Amino acid sequence: MRHCFGVDIGGTTVKIGFFAQDGTLIDKWEIKSRTENGGENILPDITKSLNDYLTEKNLDKKRMMGIGVGIPGPVNKQGIVQQTANLGWGYKNIKAEFEELSGMKVRVENDANVAALGEMWKGGGDGYGNLVLITLGTGVGGGILVGGEAVVGEHGGGGEIGHMQVNPYEKEVCGCGRRGCLEQYASATGIARLTRRRLEKDDSPSTLRGGEISAKTVFDAMKEGDVVATEVVEEFGSYLGKAIETIAVIIDPHIVVIGGGVSKAGEILLDYVKKNFRKEAFFANKELKFSLAKLGNDAGIYGAAKLFIN
């Protein structure tokens, strides 16, 4: 039995998984991401952690299949990034540098794409190779697989579905400088924004008034029957459903998997998205499946390992 590492590099922590060739996750751990000084310590820190592990387990580096890596930013087919703001990196040939440091083979992809690979392989994607992962967190991220391969895009910008424009009449500005992006309605911050906007509109009673407003409190209030919260979730579902409808006419996926912190609201969230999607979907896409992500924070290490496992 041979093995590989799956490494998911984030702005705060690096998640590391040690996998058997058959896809079994044997061990996992985290180290800190030292992003200071242009992130110069990140790859050496990971290398030390992997070497320590191999030494401790008395494993031969030459028998390792390689290291799959997920990166929080656009990365091209050669494993080169132009800039990865969250890690402090400017131009960097990650693949070449990390192979040199570690003495193992390295494959690198964008973190949203490896998360999509992970969900396809071991999570909510049930093996479907035509898959869209939508991550509803602080922002809205996306990973798109066609025939089991990530759609990286020509400039590393594939799957940037948080920046689909879904409302031409929006007045507030998105983080990207444009207006009406999906992220302004379907992220955790977007749902809070919709809620504040709705509460300011009139005096309708709501348990949300005066309390903390977050995606969690809104979904919780909706589950308790709060009318204002239900209206907000309906609006959220309408924007996300429409965005998925547009994705569907373009690439016609088999399944849409929804993950990220907001997806902890559970099946009820899917209900609102599906209802709004089906209301106006193109006939060829009516059979599109929906699922919640299942791997949580482990999607990245699974997907990174999958870069080496067939």
Taking residues 148 to 177 in sequence order and writing x for each that binds a second copy by CB under 8 A, - otherwise, the string is -x-xxxxxxxxxxx-xxx--x-------xx
* Residue 16 β-bridge partners: 7, 29
Taking residues 275 to 304 in sequence order and writing x for each that binds a second copy by CB under 8 A, - otherwise, the string is -----x-xxxx-xx----------------
Q: Using CA atoms, how far apart are residues 157 and 165, in angstroms rounded to an integer? A: 15
Phi, psi of 46 (to 5 degrees): -65, -45
Q: Using CA atoms, how far apart are residues 146 and 45, in angstroms rounded to an integer? A: 34
Return the number of the residue (39 or 159) whose C-beta is nearest a second copy.
159
Return the number of the residue (48 or 254) whose C-beta is nearest a second copy.
254
The residue from 72, 123, 190, 253 that contacts a second copy (CB under 8 A) is 253
Any idea what DSSP says for residue 72? Answer: S
Question: Rounded to the nearest 5 degrees, what angle is found at the Cα of 12, between the Cα atoms of 37 and 8?
Answer: 105
Count the site residues for a second copy by CB under 8 A: 43
Query: CB of residue 285 vs a second copy: minimum separation in angstroms?
Result: 6
The residue from 11, 44, 74, 175 that contacts a second copy (CB under 8 A) is 74
The residue from 191, 248, 256, 293 that contacts a second copy (CB under 8 A) is 248
Return the number of the residue (188 or 248) whose C-beta is nearest a second copy.
248
In angstroms, the first-to-last Cα distance of the chain is 14
Query: CB of residue 292 vs a second copy: minimum separation in angstroms?
Result: 19
Query: CB of residue 304 vs a second copy: minimum separation in angstroms?
Result: 20
Question: Rounded to the nearest 5 degrees, what angle is found at the Cα of 239, between the Cα atoms of 234 and 241?
Answer: 85
User: Residue 61, interface with a second copy (CB under 8 A)?
Assistant: no
User: Residue 258, interface with a second copy (CB under 8 A)?
Assistant: no
What is the token pair recorded at 207? 């348990």
User: Residue 137, interface with a second copy (CB under 8 A)?
Assistant: no
User: Residue 86, interface with a second copy (CB under 8 A)?
Assistant: no
Any idea what DSSP says for residue 174? Answer: P
User: Residue 146, interface with a second copy (CB under 8 A)?
Assistant: yes
**Strand runs labelled E in 111-195:** 131-136, 140-146, 149-150
Q: How many residues does the chain have?
A: 310
Residues within window 206-245 making contact with a second copy, judged by CB under 8 A: 242, 245
For 32, 41, 69, 210, 301, the CA distances from 98, given in Å and listed in that order, are: 17, 12, 10, 51, 17
Residues within window 24-53 making contact with a second copy, judged by CB under 8 A: none
Which residues, at least 6 apart from 263, have a Cβ–Cβ distance to it below 8 Å?
Answer: 136, 269, 292, 293
Return the number of the residue (203 or 287) whose C-beta is nearest a second copy.
287
Centre a 10 Å sphere on the Cβ of residue 296 and count the other Cβ atoms it contains: 13
Return the number of the residue (33 or 113) whose C-beta is nearest a second copy.
113
Return the number of the residue (1 or 250) whose C-beta is nearest a second copy.
250
Q: Using CA atoms, how far apart are residues 46 and 134, in angstroms rounded to an integer? A: 28
Return the number of the residue (232 or 288) whose C-beta is nearest a second copy.
288
User: Residue 178, interface with a second copy (CB under 8 A)?
Assistant: yes
* Residue 107 β-bridge partners: 68
| Interacting residues with a second copy (CB under 8 A) | 74, 128, 130, 144, 146-147, 149, 151-161, 163-165, 168, 176-178, 242, 245-254, 280, 282-285, 287-288
